[in-house]
Amino acid sequence: MTVVDSPEKALFVSTTQSFLQKEAPLARVRELHAAGASFDPAWWQRAAELGWTGLLVPEELGGGSVSENGVADLATVAELLGKTVAPGPLYPVSIVLTALSECADAQAHAAVIESLISGEAVASWAVSEPGRGWEPLDPSVTATPTDAGYRIDGTKDRVEAGAQSDLLLVVARCNPDGSEIRQFLVPTDAPGVRVEPQQSVDLVKQYARVHFDGVVVDAAIGGAAETAALIDRQSQIAQVLQCAEVVGVVQTVFDFTVQWALDRHTFGRPLASYQALKHGFADMKLWLEACRATTAAAVADIAERSPAAGLSASIAKSYVSEMAGRIVQGCVQIHGGIGVTWEHDLHLYLRRVTLYRSLFGTPEEHNLRVYEAEKAERSVAGRATK
């Protein structure tokens, strides 16, 4: 994903790398964890000033990308974030900005978009629900039409930075028979909103369960006819950004594990000289490059709004989530006893890939989506040949 093909992109990448190395090293991640914090709001505003938050937003709404391909540029940032398992609400803010800037009434949300791009406000996508898998278009939360607008009732789960957010983009059913799905922008300080922090396996990624009890909002985001397609695009972006970050995680872990095996000697020989480890590293390298390739293909399809974008995102999410854990666990084993200590940085990376495996669809859920897509394609092909 990190393809430097222009001076502007080179400057953007080097600036992002320098910022993360200086402002979000692994030592800072540990400090935030010790303080019980997720991210520093002032740090997030400085990150927003680098242009991260506006990459998916059109220029007329205050955004803009480096290479005129905002999805690819944002995937590059995500990959770099993975190198230090950096904190920050980049993904939830980007997903909310996608919804606001691509809906039919985008201009009506210009003030909110500006505040999110500047980093002054934080927003998150409230889409998952307790005890349920990845079903973004099948929410149990309801939005009942009233004279004042809508009344929202129900509970959302695994809302990233829920306790740190000013706004939540809530997916809900909003007509009597439950067939119409809409999204609503809800302030976290609105009457009837209760945010319950949830524990995360990651050191700095914090989540929350959010309860909505008769929360009144004026209107939905965009039109009813466009909502399903917009939610699908938001899902694709969320999935591919996680994949891009995981590629950055795995590349970093693989590189320092290979170097450790070269530096570590046993019986007068480097560990890396033993055939069993050579074969293991060869397998890991193959899996890593396959992760990179499937993610790059998904990034390209999503950027082009290809009809195959959803399938590509599911392929990437399934493969990367499955293989990343295997690679990082293998690196832990190669390190031996030191690899399972708190002092070693390996567990910071392992925690991040373990967390991401279950968010926005597990590998098993995406395997089923790929299977259903392939089955439908075979069915169409079979009818065409008759």
Whether residue 344 is predicted with pLDDT greater than 80 in this model: the reply is: yes
Q: At what angle do helices 224-263 and 70-83 cross, to 10 degrees?
A: 40
pTM, 2 dp: 0.93
| Superfamily name and number for 227-385 | Butyryl-CoA Dehydrogenase, subunit A, domain 3 (1.20.140.10)
Q: How far apart are CA 31 and CA 26, in angstroms?
A: 9
For residue 380, pLDDT beyond 70: no
pLDDT at 4 over 70: no
| CA 386 – CA 16 distance, rounded (Å) | 55
Q: Give dist(CA 292, CA 3) in Å, integer.
A: 12
Under 8 Å CB-to-CB from 139, ≥6 apart: which residues?
127, 129, 154, 171, 172, 173, 181
pLDDT for the residue 1: 62
User: What is the separation of C-alpha 290 from the centre of its chain, rounded to a whole number of angstroms?
Assistant: 19
pLDDT value of residue 68: 87
* Residue 157 DSSP code: E
User: How many CB atoms are closer than 10 A to CB 255?
Assistant: 13
In sequence order, which residues have a C-beta less than 8 Å from that of residue 328 and are 6 or more positions away?
A: 249, 250, 253, 346, 349, 350, 353
Tell me, which fold does domain 124-222 have in CATH?
Butyryl-CoA Dehydrogenase, subunit A; domain 2 (2.40.110)
Burial class (CB in 10 A: 0-12, 13-18, 19+), 375: exposed
pLDDT exceeds cutoff 90 at 71: yes
Q: Are 257 and 249 in contact (CB under 8 A)?
A: no
Type and span of the H or E element at 193: strand 193-198
What digits encode the pLDDT tens for the residues 280-324?
A: 999 999 999 999 999 999 999 999 999 999 999 999 999 999 999
7-121 in CATH: which number? 1.10.540.10
**pLDDT above 90 coverage of the chain, percent:** 82
Angle 64-289-28 from CA coordinates, rounded to 5°: 60
Asked if the model's pLDDT at residue 126 lies above 90, the reply is yes
pLDDT reading at 385 higher than 70: no
Ramachandran quadrant class, 235 (left: phi over 0; alpha: psi -120 to 50; beta: rest)? alpha
Residue boundaries of the structural domains of the chain: 7-121, 124-222, 227-385
**Mean pLDDT lowest among 194-203, 273-282, 362-371:** 273-282
